[in-house]
Amino acid sequence: MTAGQLMKLVEQGLQLVGSGDRPDLRKRLEQAAARLQDPSIRVIVVGEFKQGKSKLINALVNAPVCPVDDDIATSVPTAVRYGEPASAAILVPTAGTQDGEEGFERRPVDLAELPALVSEQGNPGNSRKLTAAEVCLPRRVLTGGLTIIDSPGVGGMGSTHTLTTLTALPTADAMLLVSDASQEYTEPELRFLRQAMRIAPSVAAVLSKTDLYPDWRRVEELDRAHLDQVAPDIPLFPVSADLRLEASRLQDNELNAESGYPALVAHLRNEIVAKAQRLQRRSVSQDLLSVTGNLRLSLQSELEALENPDGTPQMLEALALAQAEADELRKRSARWQLTLSDGINDLIADMEYDLRDRLRRIQRDAEAAIDQGDPGPVWAEFSQWLEECVAAAVSDTFVWTSERSQWLAAQVSDHFAADEVSLPVLHVSDSGDALDPVDQMPGLDPGRVNPVQKVLIGMRGSYGGVLMFGLLTGIFGMALINPLSVGAGLLLGRKAYREDKEARLKRRQGEAKTLVRRQLDDVTFQVGKQLKDRLRLVQRTTRDHFTEIADEYHRSLSDSVAAAQKAANSYAQEKEGRLCDIRTELKKVEALHRAAETVSAEVSASGIRTAAGVG
C-alpha cells in the first residue's frame, strides 16, 4: 500500500473522529498524517576529514552539490533530497525561540553560492552560525523520500566534532561510515563505529577512493575483518566516485559497475528506504487500529443498548466495571510515575558517577603524563589530546544515558497492557552542544630560557662561590679572583642553574595539573547540567506519553457508558433513526479497521519475506 493510499485511510479516520468529541484520537491521527506528509528517510554520511564524503554524495546524485577540493572541508551539514526544480536553501537560527521549538528559518540561496556557505574555506568553523543547508534535486535515486546528509568531518573521531556527529544519529534512519582506501580502519574510527551501532538503527561502511590506491583490496580485507569484530552484519561497499562521475558522463554501464555504486544504491533502496517505509506503514496502521478500536467500543455499546433494551442494565454494569478498572488504572498511575521518578533519579545519580569516573581516569592519565616530562613545549598537543579524551568520555556517557532512558521507558510500559503501549521517542543522545559552554584549555608558559637569562642565573649562583673560595685562598696570599675561586664559581653556578631548572619544571608541572583539574571540573559542571536537563525532558516526555495512553483508554470507556445510558433513555421515535446512523458509522469504522489490519498484515508479511531472503 502506497503512502497516498495510507493518507486516504487516515483522512477517513479524521472524518469518523469528527472535530469535537474525541480530540485525543484526532491528535493521534493528525500526527500520523504529519508523518506521512514528511516521508524523509535520512541517511547521514560520516567520517574523518578528507575521506571523500562530499564526493561520494556528488557521485550518488551526479551533481556538484557538496564542495570538493584538496583544501576544502565541510563545516555545515548539507541535506540532499528530491525536489523539482533544483534549488538550495540555508537554515538560519532565529532569536528568541523557546526550548523544544525548531528555532530556525529557511532562506533560499543560489546553488552556485552554496559551497561558499557550507565549506571551511568560505565559512570557517561555521562562523556564520548556520544550522544546516538543504539541496533539492530531481534525481531518481532520491525518490521514495531518501535524504542524504553530508556531515562535517569529525576530525580524528575523538574531538568535539565527533560529539556533534553523534547528535544527528538518533534522528537518522541509517549511517554510512566513509573511510578511504589509503589505510585500514584506525582505532578512533572503530570506537566511533561501536558508539554509532548503539544509536543508529542501520549502519553501513563505504571504502572510498579505490581508484587512487592499487592495494585497496588488501585494505578491504582488513576493514572487513575489523567490521566483523564490531558486528557480523555490517556491509562494506568499495567505491570510486571519479569512476562513477566519468561513467555518468560517458553513459558507460560497465564503468559504472566497476565504480561499485550500483551495489551501494541497491542497499540504500532495499535495506534502508524499503525498511523505513515498512516501519512507517506499521506505525500508521497501529494508530488506525487503536483509533478504530476506541470508536467501535463506543458505537457498539450504544448499538447493543438500542437493539437489546432488556440487556442494557447488564451491559451498563459491565461497562461500569470496565470504567472502574480504567479509574483504577489512572489511580495506579502513581505506580508507573513512581517507577519513572525513581528511575530518573537513579539514572541521574548513575550518570553523574559515570561522567565523574571517566573524567577522573582522564585526570589521572593526564597527571601521569605531566609528571613524565616538561608540559610547556608540548602544551598545544597535550591540550588537543585532553580535548579528544574528554569528548570521547562525554559521548560515551550520553550514549549510555540514551540506552538507559529507553530501558526506563520500557520498565514504565510494563505497568500497562501490552496492546495499549507504544514507547515514546527519546533523543537523549543530542549532545552536540554539550561542550560548547566549556572554555578552551588555557595556555601554559613553555619554559624557554634565553642565553642571557641562563648567564644571569649562573652568575647569581656562582657569585657566592667565587667570593667564598677567593677569601679562603686569600689566606695563602692568592688574589680574590684566581683559578680556584673561578672554578668553584662555575661549579656552583651550574648547580644553581640545574636547581632553578628543576624548580621551574616543578612549577610548570604544578600549573599544568591545576589547569587540567580546572578544565575537567568545568566539563563536569557544564555537561552534568545539560545531562540533567535532558533527563528531566525524558521524564516529562515519558510521563506525558503514558498519561495520554491512560486518559485515552479512560475516555473511551466513559464515552461508552454515556452512550449506553443515552440509548437506554432514548425516545422510541428516535430509536430507529439513531440505529440507522450507528450502523452506518459502525460499518465505516469496521471497514477502516479491516483496511488497517490489511496494512499491518502486509507489513508483517513483507518483513518475513525480507528476513527469509536475507537468511
Which domain range does residue 235 map to?
41-259
Of the two residues 175 and 430, the one the predictor is more confident about is 175
Average pLDDT over residues 112-135: 75
Q: Within a domain: residue 469?
A: yes
The 8-class DSSP code of residue 439 comes to P
Judge whether residue 306 has pLDDT over 80: no
Q: pLDDT (tens digit, 9 = 90+) per residue, 596-609?
A: 888 777 777 766 55
Q: Within a domain: residue 233?
A: yes
Q: Within a domain: residue 268?
A: no
How much is the pLDDT for 457? 55
Same domain, 238 and 322: no
Of the two residues 65 and 56, the one the predictor is more confident about is 56
E-only strand ranges, 290-430 = none
Q: How many other C-beta atoms lie within 10 A of the C-beta of residue 450?
A: 8
Q: Within a domain: residue 272?
A: no
Of the two residues 217 and 336, the one the predictor is more confident about is 217
Among 288-297, 354-363, 449-458, the range scoring the smallest mean pLDDT is 449-458
Name which of 269, 283, 281 is nearest 43 in CA terms: 269
Average pLDDT over residues 529-538: 80
Dmax (CA) for the chain in angstroms is 144
Q: Within a domain: residue 264?
A: no
Q: Within a domain: residue 413?
A: yes
Same domain, 325 and 341: yes
CATH code assigned at 204: 3.40.50.300
Same domain, 231 and 349: no
Same domain, 223 and 138: yes
Average pLDDT over residues 481-496: 66
Judge whether residue 2 has pLDDT over 90: no
What is the C-alpha R_g of the chain?
Answer: 34
How much is the pLDDT for 548? 73
Q: Report how far residue 394's alpha carbon sits from residue 166's, in angstroms, rounded to the nearest whole number.
A: 11
Average pLDDT over residues 436-463: 62
Domain boundary among 552, 569, 586: 569
Judge whether residue 429 has pLDDT over 70: no
Report the domain count for the chain: 4
Q: Report how far residue 587's alpha carbon sits from residue 517's, in angstroms, rounded to the nearest whole number.
A: 71
Among 194-208, 228-242, 257-271, the range scoring the smallest mean pLDDT is 194-208
List of long-range contacts for 340-348, beta carbons under 8 Å, 24+ apart: 340/408, 340/412, 340/539, 340/542, 340/543, 340/546, 341/539, 343/408, 343/411, 343/412, 344/408, 344/535, 344/536, 344/538, 344/539, 347/401, 347/404, 347/405, 347/408, 347/535, 348/531, 348/532, 348/535
How many percent of the chain have pLDDT more than 90?
9
Distance between first and last Cα of the chain: 25
How many percent of the chain have pLDDT more than 70?
65
Same domain, 81 and 191: yes
Judge whether residue 614 has pLDDT over 50: no
Which residue in this structure is represented by grid cell 460499518? Answer: 587
Same domain, 205 and 294: no
Same domain, 49 and 62: yes
Q: Strand 146-150's sheet: what is its strand order? A: 104-109, 87-93, 132-137, 78-82, 146-150, 41-46, 174-180, 203-208, 236-238
Domain boundary among 194, 226, 259: 259
Of the two residues 528 and 300, the one the predictor is more confident about is 528
- Contact (Cβ atoms closer than 8 angstroms) between residue 178 and residue 51: yes
For β-strands 132-137 and 87-93, DSSP reports them as antiparallel
Q: pLDDT (tens digit, 9 = 90+) per residue, 369-384?
A: 888 888 888 888 888 8
Of the two residues 260 and 314, the one the predictor is more confident about is 260
Average pLDDT over residues 297-314: 65
How much is the pLDDT for 223? 93
Average pLDDT over residues 25-29: 76
Q: Report how far residue 302's alpha carbon sits from residue 571's, in angstroms, rounded to the nearest whole number.
A: 14
Q: Following DSSP, what letter does each residue of 314-336 receive, concatenated?
A: HHHHHHHHHHHHHHHHHHTHHHH
When mean pLDDT is compared over 97-111, 173-187, 466-480, the highest value belongs to 173-187
Judge whether residue 232 has pLDDT over 60: yes
Same domain, 227 and 369: no
Q: Within a domain: residue 265?
A: no
Judge whether residue 610 has pLDDT over 60: no
For all residues of the chain together, what is the average pLDDT? Answer: 75
Same domain, 17 and 123: no
How much is the pLDDT for 345? 87
How much is the pLDDT for 262? 93
Among 189-198, 264-273, 285-294, 550-559, the range scoring the smallest mean pLDDT is 550-559
Same domain, 382 and 531: yes
**Grid coordinates given for 520:** 575537567
Judge whether residue 284 has pLDDT over 60: yes
Phi, psi at 425, each rounded to 5°: -90, 120
Same domain, 287 and 165: no
Asked whether the CA dihedral 76, 80, 86, 91 is positive or negative, the reply is: negative
How much is the pLDDT for 487? 66
Please, how many CA atoms are within 13 Å of residue 158, restricted to the half-sphere of its CB? Answer: 15
Q: Report how far residue 149's alpha carbon sits from residue 43's, in angstroms, rounded to the nearest whole number.
A: 6
Q: Can you give the pTM of this predicted structure?
A: 0.65
- Contact (Cβ atoms closer than 8 angstroms) between residue 117 and residue 90: yes
Same domain, 242 and 290: no
The 8-class DSSP code of residue 207 comes to E
Q: Within a domain: residue 404?
A: yes
